[in-house]
Amino acid sequence: MNAQQAPAKQADRAALLDRLGNRSIVLVGLMGAGKTSIGRKVAAALGLPFVDSDHEIEDVSRMTIPELFEAYGEPEFRALEQRVIARILESGPKVLSTGGGAYMNEHTRAAIASQGVSVWLKADLDLLMERVAKKQHRPLLRDPDPRGVLRRLMDERYPVYALADMAVVTRDETKDVIAAEVIDAISRHMGLSGEVDE
Ligand SMILES: Nc1ncnc2c1ncn2[C@@H]1O[C@H](COP(=O)(O)OP(=O)(O)OP(=O)(O)O)[C@@H](O)[C@H]1O
Ligand SMILES: O=C(O)C1=C[C@@H](O)[C@@H](O)[C@H](O)C1
Ligand SMILES: [Mg+2]
């Protein structure tokens, strides 16, 4: 970036924030797609607060997600997730990374549609498997065949994630590159040219 470009980039960022108004940027997609990591970077680049709904659920319940699933079951977890996301969206513009199943809830989708701009982080099965293999904190993947579970979730969920305002494909690229692509996609969606500097 040269010195002459900088003010324009700042202006682009201001224009994007202006167009967003009170709406939040909401990342949706499967486990391992990068919602948490990319959301944090997008928030830092735009100077917006960052919230991850899984982390918020763990904070309010003072339990981990595997503990919540075990103690109360998935339906209770989903009900709590719906309430937590509704509250997050009502508390002003931010970048919100959702849990992988959150967008499957029709009330949550409606809240996101009215108070947010949604971005589906889309990844293929091999990349997802590679990314989720590193950690054991996802109760749905504590299964003898995690690849089969992810494949089934892709079949069930991809048609619903496709309802998001836009999709960004997360290939084997750095987090910074994907975060910049998310910002460009949102800028274009908002009728701006894209290319907000990070
Ligand atoms: N573009 C990327 N390049 C390299 N590693 C990445 C990239 N995006 C994410 N990762 C890594 O993949 C793993 C999963 O990412 P992350 O936790 O952000 O996904 P998630 O979509 O939030 O998953 P979940 O729905 O389970 O919370 C992490 O170890 C993260 O560091
Ligand atoms: O895809 C899902 O259904 C989930 C994804 C995680 O982010 C957590 O919200 C939880 O493990 C369930
Ligand atoms: Mg996450």
Backbone angles phi, psi at 28, to 5 degrees: -125, 160
Ligand 2: does its nearest atom lie under 6 Å from the Cβ of 31?
A: yes
Q: Is the pLDDT of residue 152 over 80?
A: yes
Helix (H) or strand (E) holding 169: strand 166-169
Q: What integer is the mean pLDDT of 165-188?
A: 95
Atom of ligand 1 nearest to the CA of 29: 21
User: What is the tens place of the pLDDT at every residue in 112-146?
Assistant: 999 999 999 999 999 999 998 877 778 888 888 99
Q: What integer is the mean pLDDT of 3-28?
A: 82
Q: How far is the CA of 39 from the centre of ligand 2 (A)?
A: 16
Torsion of CA 83, 86, 89, 92, to 10 degrees: -80
Q: What integer is the mean pLDDT of 169-197?
A: 88
Residue nearest to atom 1 of ligand 2 (CA): 100
- Starting from the CA of residue 160, give the closest ligand: 2
The pLDDT value given to residue 195: 58
Q: What integer is the mean pLDDT of 180-192?
A: 95
Give percent above pLDDT 70 in the chain: 93
Topology of domain 22-187, CATH: Rossmann fold (3.40.50)
